[in-house]
Amino acid sequence: MILHAIVDDLETARVARGGGATVIQLRLKGLATSELVERGRPFRDFCTKQGALFVVDDDVQAAIELAADGVHLGRNDGGAERARETGLLLGLSAQDLEEALSASQGRPNYIGAGPVWSTPTKPEATAIGIEGLRAICSAVDVPVIAIGGIDATNAGACLEAGATGVAVVRAAANAAAIHAALSGAAL
């Protein structure tokens, strides 16, 4: 079970890791690579000390310069081949079954599938629902990380649908409750 916290500040990363997040993904949209590297160094150090995987969002070069464990690329981001060549773990996004099938051909380490439920972090995206997630999990042969509108009340349903784990943005600060839900523990 993977709990993937997508963060833009170090305090949320600390809370998420303390709550059981196993992956910390740094998402700072719109920054030049040099600025992302500069702002990402404390996250790299934190993840190293805490034993969490460190993933950079969207920028392969920044991931390389930060000695990140991986990079997550969206549907319109390039660099997948370079990520694989440099040994980075590679995550690719998919918003529907067709995209998931296409992404799986790119040999990622995982596919981030969603949004499963509506979310203000991606208001333009159509939610795939639990059945859409189930269809993706059944169709691809790589681990699927569910994302989008996930919290402690619905995280377990994602695992039941076949996901290997969940990624959270808004709920990252509530990682302990999500981890408990994923572990089948009472909240």
Quote the pTM value.
Answer: 0.94
DSSP-derived 3-state class of residue 131: helix
CATH number for the domain spanning 94: value is 3.20.20.70
Over residues 9-19, the mean pLDDT reads: 96
φ/ψ of 72, rounded to 5, equals -115, 125
Distance of CA 67 to the CA centre of its chain: 18
Structural domain of 143:
2-182
- For helices 10-18 and 33-50, the axis angle rounded to 10 degrees is 30
Residue 59 lies in a domain: yes
Q: How confident is the model at residue 1 (pLDDT cuts 50, 70, 90)?
A: confident
Distance (Å, whole) CA 21 – CA 13: 9
Over residues 41-63, the mean pLDDT reads: 98
Residue 120 lies in a domain: yes
Question: Looking at residue 186, what is its pLDDT?
Answer: 33
State the number of CA atoms in the 13 A half-sphere of 120 facing the CB.
2
Over residues 19-26, the mean pLDDT reads: 97
Residue 187 lies in a domain: no
Residue 144 lies in a domain: yes
pLDDT at 87 over 70: yes
Question: Looking at residue 16, what is its pLDDT?
Answer: 96
Amino acid at 108: P
Domain count, the chain: 1
Q: What is the mean pLDDT of the chain?
A: 94
